[in-house]
Structure 1
Amino acid sequence: MNSNPNQKPRFDFVQSRKAFFMLSGVITILGVLTLAIFGLNYGVDFKSGTTLDVAFVEAADVKKSDLEPILENHKTTISIGEERVNIRFEKVLEEEQRLRILQTFEEQYGEISVEESTVDAGMAKELGVKAISVVLIASLFIIIYVSIRFEWRFALAAIVALFHDAFIVISLFSILRFEVNLTFIAAVLTIIGYSINDTIVIFDRIRENLRTAKIKSFDDLATLVNTSIWQTLARSINTALTVIIAALFLFLFGSPSIQLFSLAMLIGLISGGYSSIFIASQIWLLLKKSSIGKKKTVSTS
């Protein structure tokens, strides 16, 4: 790819920015509506209840209708795999109830192994508050870092793209009614890290090209942004594909406990690659537009 920042690249990302903004706007509106109507399907980590993950030593043909007598009319969400059953109870089971249910499982399906997690109402609320705080604190430090390392326009564009990626993952989990738990929060934080890293690579190239470019008009600035994206495009695509392939195989062949984590990663990685190229740099361009013609100051850090 040509490294000359003044040569017009093959595809004009800037000229197509309105289409990208419109696409992201539609996704955001749909996400807001979905969250307002359906909310999130919180796992046991964020609301009180008990989760039993029952694994069978010998293969068992389990049907939901067969489990109704075992679960004693408790309100549950059931996921059935080839060798295990995951049951989420909407209230905390008493010890006597838990033992009776597991004993019935053993009588009907033979030897089992069980993983149990229980969260009371107070702990669920505390975990929810802490999860939101972690995401906000991470975002705040990212804004501070990018502002110091680059400038405030880069920081604002990066944080918009970052929230764009996180919101798309959250919206799709709401639409598909997938469970939101602490593993999901870990996936969102991982996505934030990946997204900001990919965005900074493009921003760093824009800053380098700004040092030598003569920007006299918006077209000059747009050409510089386009060229900077092209110069880093192969790196962005290769990095995204490498991680996406790994996340895909984890989703297809991993255990049920990490499949939702892998799915969140897949959605976030695709969104992160898209926003770094099509959203973040375009937002910076619009913010920088007003400074054209003024004295240019470029960070040398």
Structure 2
Amino acid sequence: MRYNFKNFNFVKASKGFFILSIVLTLLGILSLSIFGLNYGIDFKSGSSVDIKVSKPLDAAKVQQFIESENFGKHTFTSSAERFSIRFENTLDEQQQSKLESDFKSKFDDKASFEINIVDVEIAREQETNALYGILIASIGIIIYIAIRFEWRFAVAAVIALLHDAFIVITLFSLFRLEVNLPFIIAVLTIIGYSINDTVVIFDRIRENLRFAKIKSRDDLVTLVNTSVSQTLTRSINTVLTVAFAAICLFVFGSESIKMFSLAMIFGLISGAYSSIFIASPLWLILRNKAKPKKTVKVQSAP
């Protein structure tokens, strides 16, 4: 599918997206400072219990049973053949045995249990490793783009991809969605996807620069608009394809990958507009601020 945006002024339209991104960033900073993130069991101590049943059960009755066990605060999710309970307290062996035996005797003696426990030290280690992963990925991207293109492309690309990651984090904070390890994987995937889309546009800008005669800022604006329009069909089709897969995973996938799928959907939308309306205009701003090269006049000998 092809789209005709040949005469569209992407640079001019980017001003509105800059304002939108600034507003979302401020909202994110405010939300994170007040509420923080809704960490799942992967990043805080507690117990995760997944129950796979051999026959259909009434989810309301199962939830009522879990509450009657009095094991503390928890979250409960269910699907056709699986129940997932996340306890904020760490269940000891006696509590685990009691929960399993009581459930089997009351509901399904063929049910299988998977119980995972995360202590405070492991939770902190996983949170630190996740931050290191995002930091190392960003540094690697800076080095790659700086070598392949120039430092202005690298700065614009990294700001755009960090913008995408922060937008996803902001939305998860605002809507109090659970942050777990699949969420971190989704953020790293979004960074990789976003930089790929940005590099395609930057590569076209670089190619067009070789043959363009740049005499003023308007010439640079025209070059950026032309480069974006030449790659827009590919960008939109790629986003629609990946977004369709992510939506299918969110609708039909299991509970364990729903937050991954939702983070991917948010990130794809953010990455699509940041590659077009954030990264390229940022490069244009940096390029315009560059000092013109001084010409050296050579005097002929008398």
Is this contact kept in 1: 2:49–2:113, CA < 8 A? Answer: yes
- Tell me if 1:37 matches 2:60: no
* Aligned mates of 2:66, 2:127 — CA distance in 1: 31
* Aligned mates of 1:33, 1:245 — CA distance in 2: 32
Q: Secondary structure at the residue paired with 2:11?
A: coil
* Aligned mates of 1:19, 1:278 — CA distance in 2: 9
Aligned-residue offset at 1:81: 2.9
Q: Which residue of 2 aligns with 1:80?
A: 78
Is this contact kept in 2: 1:215–1:292, CA < 8 A? Answer: no
* Aligned mates of 1:94, 1:295 — CA distance in 2: 74
Aligned-residue offset at 1:66: 3.7
* Aligned mates of 2:52, 2:20 — CA distance in 1: 43
Cα displacement string for residues 124-170 of structure 1 (whole angstroms, at most 9, x for unaligned residues): 11111111001100100100110011011000000010011101111
* Aligned mates of 2:77, 2:34 — CA distance in 1: 24
* Aligned mates of 2:251, 2:131 — CA distance in 1: 29
Structure 1: unaligned runs, 5 residues or longer: 2-7, 297-301
- Tell me if 1:90 matches 2:88: yes
Q: Which residue of 1 aligns with 2:254?
A: 255
Q: Which residue of 2 aligns with 1:194?
A: 193
Cα displacement string for residues 162-189 of structure 1 (whole angstroms, at most 9, x for unaligned residues): 0111011111111222211111111111
Cα displacement string for residues 174-212 of structure 1 (whole angstroms, at most 9, x for unaligned residues): 122221111111111111000000000000000001111
Aligned-residue offset at 1:244: 0.7
Q: Secondary structure at the residue paired with 1:16?
A: helix
* Aligned mates of 2:71, 2:150 — CA distance in 1: 59
Q: Which residue of 2 aligns with 1:155?
A: 154
Q: Which residue of 2 aligns with 1:116?
A: 115
Q: Secondary structure at the residue paired with 2:42?
A: coil
Q: Secondary structure at the residue paired with 1:15?
A: helix
Is this contact kept in 1: 2:47–2:117, CA < 8 A? Answer: yes
* Aligned mates of 1:67, 1:32 — CA distance in 2: 37
Is this contact kept in 1: 2:208–2:223, CA < 8 A? Answer: yes
Q: Secondary structure at the residue paired with 1:215?
A: coil
* Worse-superposed segment, 98-107 or 224-233: 98-107
Q: Secondary structure at the residue paired with 1:53?
A: strand
Is this contact kept in 1: 2:71–2:89, CA < 8 A? Answer: no
Bigger-Rg structure (1/2): 2
Is this contact kept in 1: 2:71–2:87, CA < 8 A? Answer: no
TM-score by length of 1: 0.92
Superposition map of 1:1-301 within 5 A: 9-63=6-60, 64-70=63-69, 72-110=70-108, 111-291=110-290, 293-294=292-293
* Worse-superposed segment, 108-117 or 131-140: 108-117
Q: Secondary structure at the residue paired with 1:25?
A: helix
**Residue identity matched to 1:109:** F
Aligned-residue offset at 1:34: 1.4
TM-score by length of 2: 0.92
Aligned-residue offset at 1:295: 7.2
**Residue identity matched to 1:101:** L
Q: Aligned residue pairs: how many? A: 289
Is this contact kept in 2: 1:218–1:292, CA < 8 A? Answer: no
* Aligned mates of 1:28, 1:58 — CA distance in 2: 47
* Aligned mates of 1:94, 1:133 — CA distance in 2: 32
* Aligned mates of 1:108, 1:285 — CA distance in 2: 67
**Residue identity matched to 1:275:** S
Structure 2: unaligned runs, 5 residues or longer: 296-302
* Aligned mates of 2:12, 2:59 — CA distance in 1: 56
Aligned-residue offset at 1:294: 3.2
* Aligned mates of 1:113, 1:178 — CA distance in 2: 28
Is this contact kept in 2: 1:27–1:168, CA < 8 A? Answer: yes
* Aligned mates of 1:208, 1:189 — CA distance in 2: 29
Identity score, percent: 57
Q: Which residue of 2 aligns with 1:299?
A: none
* Worse-superposed segment, 197-206 or 123-132: 123-132
* Aligned mates of 1:191, 1:247 — CA distance in 2: 12
* Aligned mates of 1:143, 1:167 — CA distance in 2: 17
Aligned-residue offset at 1:91: 2.0
Measured on the aligned residues, the alpha-carbon RMSD in Å equals: 1.7
* Aligned mates of 1:38, 1:54 — CA distance in 2: 31
* Aligned mates of 1:90, 1:146 — CA distance in 2: 43
Is this contact kept in 2: 1:183–1:261, CA < 8 A? Answer: yes
